[in-house]
Amino acid sequence: MIGHGDVPHLNPPVISVEAREELFADMLPHERLARETGRPSLGSGAVYPIDESTLFIPPFTIPDHWEQGWAIDPGWNVTAGLLGARDPDTDRYYLTAEYYGQRDQPIIHAHGLKLLLPWPTLEGCMDPAGDNVSSQKDGSKLKEEYEDLGLWLGKANNAVHAGLRRCLVLMQGGQLKVFDTLVYFKTEFRLYRRDEKGKIVKSNDHAMDCMRYLLNTDGAFQARPIDRARRHGGGEW
């Protein structure tokens, strides 16, 4: 990849700092980042025109008192899952782990998703009428199949425009951060775009849909259950 630093005529002393800043002043953050680093950018079609350096952060251990939640976007080509956490003190959200499975049966995906969860009864959100299933009836059956395999699932809020707007507002306000270890999420984030008519391109968007479900569904984030059957010195209390 070739960025600004590799092009002599865009750097001092060939060009002044002021002239260089003026040249790039009208660019959106992600467009400028693409030119500075050589990383591909979608330009004006990007759904989330966000500077990645303000969104992605190194992972850390989630405190036990934080709420957590997850979402699933099922399909034959790709089944994706996304785990998130909410800091109750700052109301800031973090996307912390991901699952990405391809062309496997629900029993395989269910196993991978269970490994994602911080506790087994954490309820996820899934849209039974999503784009990856042929009908509401088929989606409901798929939800029941995953529940039979041991996952706890509720219905996701699939309001597209409101969900996209909420995700963008959280990103712009610094209230949403994503662990930089989420490689599939990062790939989709960079490709997520609108076509020339302003419609979302429904391709490579499984993690993006999971994020929208998770951040737009009431009650998606839950506190860790308290284990009241603790033992101390051989006795139960």
Report, as an integer, the average pLDDT of 44-53: 90
Classify domain 56-216 at the CATH class level.
alpha beta
Distances (CA, A) of 225 to 59, 152, 217, 222: 23, 14, 20, 9
Higher pLDDT, 62 or 29: 62
pLDDT digits (tens, 9 = 90+) for 170-227: 999 999 999 999 999 999 999 999 999 889 998 889 999 999 999 999 999 999 998 6
pLDDT digits (tens, 9 = 90+) for 75-99: 888 999 999 999 999 999 999 999 9
Cβ 172 vs Cβ 50: under 8 Å: yes
Nearest C-alpha neighbor of 98 from the set 207, 171, 192, 190? 207
pLDDT digits (tens, 9 = 90+) for 124-163: 999 877 555 554 456 678 999 999 999 999 999 999 999 9
**How is 47-108 classified by DSSP, letter by letter?**
SS---GGGTEE---PPPTTSEEEEEEE--SS-EEEEEEEEETTTTEEEEEEEEEE-S--HHH
Domain ranges (residues) in the chain: 9-41, 56-216
